[in-house]
Structure 1
């Protein structure tokens, strides 16, 4: 079941916003509980063809049926096809988003057959080949969607200084649903 209940997701996000009018919840001041429009199929297909990938079905259906970010975990779900609106300051997430769109990067083989806990140090970006950045926690910590290989579809968190690069959810649906279900 890859389809999403767009109305249900949007209703839950409105409920979350109503409970947090001061945007006190972690990341809310960035994504502001706003969910952009869904992407047209042609735009998603063009992205996949440009990058030589097939997006995991649950993520693909989310951006096609629900929205292209930003309301979501951490500082919000990064948009697939357009960078976030100018926020008036440069964030590491902007460079990460642009780096993901370099030719061949998303289609490259995911280099880790197993989790790599603990400090990994530089160059951490080589470990994130074959993944798409979903969200930023801050301090250089990102949640990434694995796009190919035996781990395809899993959401991993990369924390080069402390946590390493480890799976956090079995797929995008679980990752996003956990955020929606959180108090």
Structure 2
């Protein structure tokens, strides 16, 4: 079923990129409508052996039948590549994911709300300081980032897309949320949250990519 889902997708991406409005699609100047070549089954097996876990079905089928990355939502789907004999995902913020922890379950809940509220209450206000304000806000930022960006909070997940301004999206690899896409607005002090469809259901990788492609086609294939 997942293999059939991706039938013709690579050709649709190529057609959209060649369309009269292809350059008007957000992020197209970044990914340039290029899809990297798919993985072989041997390469996929090698990748999964390295990370110690099988990738979600929809995503692994994409890697086998469409490409390892490239044209996709926002500035493109982060490609997975073998570099000096080791597999890794590449893109702006891809290194936020700990590839040694992908077999660990992604946490079921976000940061402790009380802890966040307490930290926010402690945020320095400029009127309470003079020349020491810069030092105070820098120290507070470090405490905030230590909570929001604690590595255990994104165990079992990879960064797959950059939206700009340090906003990103993650694909959950392990745990009860496996196969779903999460939004990362922590650069704007917004916690990690799952993407939901109009019915309030979690968006899986296939839905995430196909929704982007359908909207991109509407723009790319329209008359100038």
TM-score grouping bracket, smaller chain normalisation: 0.7 to 0.9
TM-score by length of 2: 0.67
What CA distance in whole angstroms lies between the structure 2 residues aligned with 1:42 and 1:133? 23
Show CA shifts across 1:57-108 (max 9, x none). 000000111111101001101112247xxxxxxxx944x3244364x23223
CA distance in 2, matches of 1:175, 1:8: 17
* Contact 1:106–1:130 (8 Å) recurs in 2: yes
Unaligned runs of 5+ in 1: 84-91
CA distance in 1: counterparts of 2:150 and 2:43, whole angstroms: 27
Number of equivalenced pairs: 169
> Matched residues in 1 for 2:171 and 2:190: separation?
17
Q: Are 2:108 and 1:108 aligned?
A: no
Aligned equivalent of 2:21: 20
Given candidates 115, 118, 122, the residue that maps to 2:145 is 122
Q: Which runs of 5+ in 2 are unaligned?
A: 84-89, 117-143, 196-201, 219-224
Larger RCO of the pair (alpha carbons < 8 Å, separation 6+): 2
Question: What are the residue-to-residue correspondences of 1:2-151 with 2, within 5 Å?
Answer: 2-4=2-4, 8-17=8-17, 18-21=19-22, 23-82=23-82, 93-94=91-92, 96-100=93-97, 102=99, 104-111=100-107, 113-114=108-109, 121-123=144-146, 124=149, 126=151, 127-151=153-177
**Scaled by the length of structure 1, what TM-score is found?**
0.81
The higher radius of gyration belongs to 2
- Decide which of 172, 176, 179 is 2:209's aligned counterpart: 176
CA contact (8 A) 2:106 2:155 kept: yes
Instruction: Please identify, of 164-173 and 64-73, the stretch whose mean Cα deviation from structure 2 is larger.
Output: 164-173
Give yes or no for contact 1:130–1:147 (8 Å, CA) kept in 2. Answer: yes
The residue matched to 1:148 in structure 2 has which SS? coil
- For the 8 Å contact 1:78–1:133, the answer to whether it is kept is yes
Name the structure with the higher helix share. 2
